[in-house]
Amino acid sequence: MPEPFKNAFNPEMIAQMGDHLGNASAAFDVDAFVAQACDGLENLELKQRSNQIRNALVQTLPSDHRRACKVMIDALHPVDNGQLGDMSMDQIGIRGWPIMPMAEVVTERGLKDFDFSLDVLAEMTTRFSAEFAIRPFFNNDWRAALDKALIWALSDNFHVRRLASEGSRPRLPWGLQIPQFVADPAPLLPLLESLKNDPEEYVRRSVANNINDIAKDHPDFVADLAARWMRDADKNTTRMVRHACRTLIKKGHAPTLSALGYSKPKICIDGFNIKTPKVKLGNSLEFAVDLTSMSNADQPLVVDFAIHYQRANGQLSPKVYKWKALDLKAGQSLSMAKKQSIRQITTRVFYAGTHGLEIQINGEKVAEGSFELVL
């Protein structure tokens, strides 16, 4: 079983973090910081541990915001442009998970020193993402924060460029929403335009995630954007736009499907077989579908499937899963099979009983059936 994320914040990490801060400032009380940060740590979850370390930093760093930031910046690991997953703290300096509570210190103290604090967060994000920490700045003054993000979009460091697009997402999961952009995403367009062809896929996927957020409230806006960006799009931009439109594709939003070159499928379903009509929780649902093109031309198809899960009130709630994108040749027949694990996860409560299954092609339901889930 993978190590829980919360264990990234552990006494050894905190002690090493304290040593680096102590090396950066002789006045920093390492012992007091470690004692406060580690107090009852084993009983806390991830966010609680980060908050406790943040509070310990607030108590032990200089009370002057800029002096406190200098200590934290001086304790950082040198920039090496590594991938986020490789950023673990070592003997050279602080990077990785410890940046999370340090960035929160900047946010807690720095809204009144706006530009300086955002510059500090941009420096920190090159050692671990500060996408959550910058969101209060957008909610405090979205115009000023967006101006800064437009500057970040020109950075030589791809982590800083990603901070611009990821930190400005209207509905970043587990982060504060930015109500201004939920209501009106238009101000984000110059930023997203500047990053849509970024050489780093890491940045392009962030642009796609930003647009996917927008799609939840403004589907037609995104469909128009997709149609414009798909004109003369290269391979990377095409992949990014399709990822950006994934929610709208699953919902069968016709303008978006049209923008991506998907039209009403001209097919015949020759067979739909749920191979496991009864599934025990922890096992897999297996099914297959056979189809034939009824078109005289090749057809681009995006094939998804939806499982309609039982809820506590007996109603069904659909969850759409991506399956395959393909080009079906004129008159071609095709067989597709899928095995989907139905196992216990923390984000869903399972209920025994009849569940639905449907196949969607280009957003349209083409086959449906049911299976029994046994707990």
pLDDT at 83 over 80: no
On whether the CB atoms of residues 111 and 142 are closer than 8 A, the answer is no
pLDDT at 103 over 70: yes
Mean residue pLDDT across the chain: 94
Q: DSSP for 166-211, please give it.
A: HHT-TT-TTS---HHHHH--GGGHHHHHHHTT-S-HHHHHHHHHHH
pLDDT at 41 over 60: yes
Block residue for tokens 């998970």: 97
**What domains does the chain contain, in order, with CATH numbers?**
5-259 (1.25.40.290), 267-374 (2.60.40.10)
For the chain, give the percent of residues with pLDDT over 90.
89
pLDDT digits (tens, 9 = 90+) for 132-170: 999 999 999 999 999 999 999 999 999 999 999 999 999
Look at strands 353-361 and 364-374 and give their pairing: antiparallel
Count other C-beta atoms under 10 Å from residue 39's C-beta: 11
Q: How far apart are CA 296 and CA 332, in angstroms?
A: 10
Q: How far apart are CA 109 and CA 136, in angstroms?
A: 11
Q: What is the pLDDT of residue 85?
A: 65
Amino acid sitting at position 278: K
Query: In this structure, what are the phi and psi dihedrals at residue 342, rounded to the nearest 5 degrees?
Result: -115, 90
Give Rg (Cα) of the chain. Answer: 25
Q: What is the pLDDT of residue 89?
A: 84
CA 264 to chain centre: 30
Q: How far apart are CA 69 and CA 364, in angstroms?
A: 54
Lateral strand order in the sheet of 278-280: 278-280, 364-374, 353-361, 299-310, 316-328
Block residue for tokens 């470690």: 34
Q: What is the pLDDT of residue 291?
A: 97
Q: How far apart are CA 146 and CA 137, in angstroms?
A: 9
Block residue for tokens 């910081």: 33
Amino acid sitting at position 70: K
pTM recorded for the entire structure:
0.84
pLDDT at 238 over 90: yes
To which H or E segment does residue 4 belong? none
Q: How far apart are CA 123 and CA 94, in angstroms?
A: 12
Look at strands 278-280 and 364-374 and give their pairing: parallel
Q: State the pLDDT confidence band at 252, using cuts at 50, 70 and 90.
A: confident
Q: What is the pLDDT of residue 2?
A: 60
Residue 271 burial (C-beta neighbours within 10 Å; 0-12, 13-18, 19+)? exposed
Using the 8-state DSSP alphabet, how is residue 85 labeled? Answer: G
Structure tokens at 241: 């736009």
3-class SS at 318? strand
Q: What is the pLDDT of residue 289?
A: 97
Closest CA to 31 of 40, 21, 41: 21
